[in-house]
Amino acid sequence: MKSAVSECPIEEAMVLLSGRWPTLLLYYLQDGTKRFSELQRDNPTISHRMLTLELRKLEQAGIVSRMAYAGYPSRVEYTLTPAGLRLLPLIDALGDWWSETAQERAAP
């Protein structure tokens, strides 16, 4: 997911993970493989189209793997790759930081 503009790995990671959905999808996938419909149930506010686009972006970046099975009805499952699993402690640390600094950030 290298952009033509930036050489900064932090900026590249932030571009990949920015927005409302990427980190939430990683959070939902941390417990293991999930079907598309399960991910949609986990967060019913994401549209079918947006979920498709975000999963495709994470797949192209090597963060999520997609496995399609033949048959009817079609079945597609998503799993975190080793690179995706390596992101989980970072996302947890970010959540911890947010919780731990809530009072500091609220002070005028």
Residue ranges per structural domain of the chain: 15-101
Which CATH fold would you assign to the domain 15-101?
Arc Repressor Mutant, subunit A (1.10.10)
pLDDT at 31 over 80: yes
**What is the model's pLDDT at position 107?**
77
Question: pTM of the prediction?
Answer: 0.83
Give the other-Cβ count within 10 Å of 105's Cβ: 7
Residue 65 banded pLDDT, cuts 50, 70, 90: very high
Give the other-Cβ count within 10 Å of 70's Cβ: 6
Distance CA 39, CA 42 (A): 5
Six-digit token string for 84: 């995706």
pLDDT at 6 over 90: no
User: What average pLDDT does the chain have?
Assistant: 90
**What is the model's pLDDT at position 48?**
94
